[in-house]
C-alpha cells in the first residue's frame, strides 16, 4: 500500500491578471486589487473585504492601528456611502476577513489592533511578502513535483 501525503497545501496563492487600471473610482480599483490577489472570488456578492481593504489602506496612510470594532464601523460608513447592503458586517465575519488578511501576510495585529504589515504600502507588502517570499517557495516546490514526475515517467 502506498503512503499518501494529505492534500493539505502548505501555502496557496491565487493571482489574476486584469486589464490595465484606467479611470476606476477608488472602490472599483480596490475591488480589482482584491480580485487580483485572490481575496475576492469572481461573482462574490459578499464583497465586504473590499471595504475592509479601503479602511486598512486609508488608516495605513495615517499610521493608525484599528480595532475590529473601529474597522467594522468604518466599513459600515463606506457601504452606506456607496449605497451597498450591510451584508457581511457581522463582527464574526469582519474578524474572519481580518484573519484571512493576516494569514496572507498583508496585515498584522498587536494589542487587538490591526495594521498593514510593518506599516508598508500594499504594493510593498506584495513585493516583499508575496513576490519575493511566497511565490518562489511555491514555484520551487512545483518544480520538485515536476522533477519527480519525470523520474517515474
Q: What is the pLDDT along the chain (153 residues), one digit of tens a residue?
A: 555 667 888 888 899 999 999 999 999 999 999 999 999 998 887 899 999 999 999 999 999 999 999 999 999 999 999 999 888 899 999 999 999 999 999 999 999 999 999 999 999 999 999 999 999 999 999 999 999 999 998
Q: pTM of the predicted model, to two decimals?
A: 0.89
> In the CATH hierarchy, which fold is given to the domain comprising 26-119?
Arc Repressor Mutant, subunit A (1.10.10)
∠ CA 37-43-48 to the nearest 5 degrees? 65
- In angstroms, rounded to a whole number, what is the distance separating the alpha carbons of residues 116 and 122? 8
Per-domain boundaries in the chain = 26-119
Are 59 and 66 contacting, i.e. CB atoms less than 8 angstroms apart? yes
Are 105 and 134 contacting, i.e. CB atoms less than 8 angstroms apart? yes
Amino acid at each position: 500500500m502506498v503512503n499518501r501525503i494529505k492534500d493539505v497545501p502548505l501555502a496557496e496563492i491565487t493571482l489574476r491578471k486584469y486589464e490595465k487600471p484606467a479611470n476606476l473610482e477608488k472602490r472599483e480599483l480596490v475591488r480589482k486589487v482584491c480580485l487580483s490577489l485572490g481575496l475576492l472570488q469572481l461573482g462574490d456578492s459578499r464583497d465586504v473585504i473590499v471595504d475592509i481593504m479601503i479602511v486598512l489602506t486609508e488608516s495605513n496612510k495615517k499610521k493608525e492601528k484599528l480595532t475590529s470594532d473601529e474597522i467594522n464601523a468604518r466599513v459600515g460608513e463606506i457601504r452606506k456611502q456607496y449605497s451597498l447592503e450591510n451584508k457581511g458586517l457581522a463582527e464574526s465575519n469582519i474578524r474572519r476577513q481580518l484573519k484571512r488578511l493576516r494569514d496572507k501576510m498583508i496585515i498584522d495585529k498587536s494589542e487587538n489592533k490591526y495594521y498593514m504589515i510593518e506599516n508598508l504600502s500594499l504594493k510593498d507588502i506584495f513585493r516583499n511578502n508575496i513576490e519575493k517570499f511566497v511565490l518562489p517557495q511555491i514555484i520551487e516546490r512545483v518544480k520538485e513535483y515536476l522533477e519527480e514526475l519525470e523520474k517515474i515517467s
